[in-house]
Amino acid sequence: YSQIGQAYIKMKQFDKGIEYSNYAKPYMKDSSNSLAFLYNDYIKCYTGKGNLDSITKYYKEIYKLISKEDSLHISVSSANRYMAEYFIAKGNIAKASFFAKKANTFAEKSNDEEILMEARVTQGKLLYQQKQFDKAIAVLKQASTHAYEFDKTSFIIINQLLAQSYAQIG
């Protein structure tokens, strides 16, 4: 159910993504890692629908899952990255910056190269929006190291932002 929901999310059919995430939820109630990934799926759906109340609800739910034994750095980084992306799209750079910094912090703690790449892409977008093109280039170059291997869409976004940043500085 979760994978079907994720397919709908990629197709931007967020109501169907929510529907299948709801089907998956009963099967994940005993696993904080699985629930954290599912809650991130909800965040992606509600971000697509522009529903900040529901985005915030599931963002908080992820933090409730953190225990001393399992810090869920990957899921927490992702949740913060989705929040940053939401606020970048809304033009609220201050809030986007707050969440982007948290996404980077947890990505670094996770020691997961893909999550770190994704957090850096968001940071690069934010720096570009702030017209800090040299900093954006530096961060995006770091993100591009393994991006093609992880996610071709991110690789394309990185290169678009790099090209735009270079164009801005001539």
pLDDT (tens digit, 9 = 90+) per residue, 58-103? 999 998 888 765 678 999 999 999 999 999 999 999 999 999 999 9
Q: Which residues contact 81 (CB under 8 A, 6 or more apart)?
A: 99, 100, 103, 107, 118, 119, 122
pTM of the predicted protein model: 0.83
Handedness of CA 137, 128, 163, 102 (dihedral sign): positive
Tell me which residues of the chain have a pLDDT lower than 50: none
> Residue 70 has what pLDDT?
64
Single-letter residue type at 21: S
Our measurement of the distance from residue 124's CA atom to the centroid of its chain's CA atoms, rounded to an integer in Å, reads 13
Integer Rg of the chain from CA: 16
Q: What are the tokens at 34?
A: 């699985």
Q: Is the distance from CB of 17 to CB of 29 less than 8 angstroms?
A: no
> Residue 154 has what pLDDT?
87
